[in-house]
Structure 1
Amino acid sequence: MGMDMAVSIKQLIDKLELQNLTPEVDITGIKVTQPDINRPALQLAGYFEHYDETRPQIIGFVEYSYMEHMTEEDKREVYPKVLSEKTPCIVFCRDLRPDEIFLETAVKNKVPVLLTQKSTSAFMAEIIRWLNVKLAPCISVHGVLVDVYGEGVLITGESGIGKSEAALELIKRGHRLVSDDVVEIRKVSDDTLVGTAPDITKHFIELRGIGIIDVKALFGVSSVMDTTNISLVIRLEDWDKEKKYDRLGLEENYTEYLGNKVVCHNIPIRPGRSLAIICECAAVNHRQKKMGYNAAQELYQRVQNSLTRKREEDEE
Structure 2
Amino acid sequence: MRKTRVNHLVERFNMKVLSGEENLSREITVTDLNRPGLQLAGYFSHYPQERIQIFGITEMEFLNTLTHEERDQRLRFLMNEETPCLLIARNLEVPVEMIEASAETGVPLLQSPLATTALVSKLTNYLEDKLAPTTTMHGVLTDIYGVGVLITGSSGIGKSETALELVKRGHRLVADDAVEIRQTQEGQLIGSAPELIQHLLEIRGVGIINVMTMFGAGAVRNMKNIAMVVQLELWDQHKQYERLGLDEEKIKIMDTEIPVLTVPVRPGRNLAVIIEVAAMNFRLKRMGYNAAVHFSKRLTDTIEENEAESY
Q: TM-score, normalised by structure 1?
A: 0.87
Contact 1:143–1:180 at 8 Å: present in 2 too? yes
The equivalent of 1:271 in structure 2 is 267
Superposition map of 1:183-202 within 5 A: 183-189=179-185, 191-202=187-198
1:10 aligns with 2:7: yes
The equivalent of 1:151 in structure 2 is 147
Following superposition, the deviation at residue 190 of structure 1 comes to: 6.7
Q: Which runs of 5+ in 1 are unaligned?
A: none
- Over aligned residues, Cα RMSD in angstroms? 2.5
Following superposition, the deviation at residue 181 of structure 1 comes to: 1.3
Distance in 2 between the 1:214 and 1:97 partners? 52
Distance in 2 between the 1:213 and 1:69 partners? 66
Cα 1:22–1:50 change in 2 (3 A) is: same
Aligned residues: 311
Following superposition, the deviation at residue 97 of structure 1 comes to: 4.4
The equivalent of 2:116 in structure 1 is 120
1:89 aligns with 2:85: yes
Following superposition, the deviation at residue 72 of structure 1 comes to: 2.8
The equivalent of 1:231 in structure 2 is 227
The equivalent of 1:175 in structure 2 is 171
Following superposition, the deviation at residue 220 of structure 1 comes to: 4.1
Report the residue type matching 1:303 in the other structure.
Answer: L
Secondary structure class of the residue paired with 1:22: strand
Contact 1:18–1:115 at 8 Å: present in 2 too? no
239-248 or 122-131, which moves further after superposition? Answer: 122-131
The equivalent of 1:286 in structure 2 is 282
Once the two structures are superposed, residues 101-139 of structure 1 have per-residue CA deviations (whole angstroms, 9 ceiling, x without a partner) of 323322332323334444333332333233233323322
Contact 2:24–2:108 at 8 Å: present in 1 too? no
Distance in 2 between the 1:121 and 1:43 partners? 20
Distance in 2 between the 1:93 and 1:272 partners? 63
Once the two structures are superposed, residues 249-281 of structure 1 have per-residue CA deviations (whole angstroms, 9 ceiling, x without a partner) of 001011112232211001112233332222222
Following superposition, the deviation at residue 248 of structure 1 comes to: 0.7
Distance in 1 between the 2:309 and 2:240 partners? 36
Alignment match of 1:48 (pick from 38, 44, 48): 44
Aligned-residue identity in percent = 41
Distance in 1 between the 2:275 and 2:86 partners? 46
196-205 or 147-156, which moves further after superposition? Answer: 196-205
